Amino acid sequence: MNHFTLTVLSNDPPGGRCMLYARYAEELSQSLGLNVQTIYPDDSHEHSAPGLLMDKQSVTPADGVIIDPNDICNTIKQIGLEIADMTGLRNRLDLLVEETIGKM
In this predicted structure, the answer to whether residue 43 has a pLDDT above a threshold of 90 is: no
Distances in Å between the Cα of 104 and the Cα atoms of 22, 66, 75 are 15, 14, 26
C-alpha 65 chain-centroid distance: 13
Q: What is the pLDDT of residue 59?
A: 97
Residue 35 makes CB contacts below 8 A (sequence gap 6+) with 2, 3, 4, 5, 6, 29
DSSP class of residue 11 equals -
**77-92 pLDDT, tens per residue?**
999 998 889 999 999 9
pLDDT tens profile 1-18: 467 899 999 999 999 999
d(CA 4, CA 91): 22
